[in-house]
Amino acid sequence: MDHVFIEGLEIEAVIGIYDWERRIRQPLVFDLEMAFDNRVPAASDAIGDTLDYAAVCERITRFVAQSEFGLVETLAERVAAIVLDEFKVARVRLKLSKPGAIRNARGVGVCIERSR
Ligand SMILES: Nc1nc2c(c(=O)[nH]1)N=C([C@H](O)[C@@H](O)CO)CN2
């Protein structure tokens, strides 16, 4: 199966379980791999036939920037649901990284794969 991917989408949000984390915004990084048959847009050369990665980035950014979840697990699940429901994607693999959350680790977070 083909994919459309988004790599390193950076968005700041309120995220975390500690009191100090509720008072600041922290950077989050999203990587997504979305199952999509790219043969149709390849044949038509029409943006309307694509899974438009710009539209997906815009929607995720709008949602995440106003979110205030405690766990990265919750946020990842909600973003995956938006991609599946609103963009008619059959399967999405999503990695959500919270860089700088743990000293000496480049990033921590979750990887999930969900399908409709
Ligand atoms: N599996 C998880 N572990 C932890 C999370 C989380 O969201 N999922 N969050 C924290 C804290 O918010 C941490 O990021 C602050 O350093 C700890 N563990």
Give the pLDDT confidence of 31-40 residue by residue, as tens digits: 999 999 999 9
Q: Could you report the predicted ipTM of this complex, rounded to two decimals?
A: 0.96
The two beta strands, 109-115 and 91-97, are antiparallel
- Ligand 1, CB within 6 Å, residue ranges: 16-18, 21, 71-73, 98, 101-102
Say how far apart CA 9 and CA 2 lie, in whole Å.
20
- Which CATH number belongs to the domain containing residue 50 in this structure? 3.30.1130.10
Domain count, the chain: 1
pTM metric for this prediction:
0.97
What tens digit of pLDDT does each residue of 14-68 get?
999 999 999 999 999 999 999 999 999 999 999 999 999 999 999 999 999 999 9
Please report the pLDDT score of residue 100 as a whole number: 86
Ligand 1 pocket mutation, candidates 95, 108, 110, criterion most atoms within 8 A of CB:
108
Helix (H, G, I), strand (E, B) or coil at 31: strand
For residue 57, the enclosing domain spans 3-115
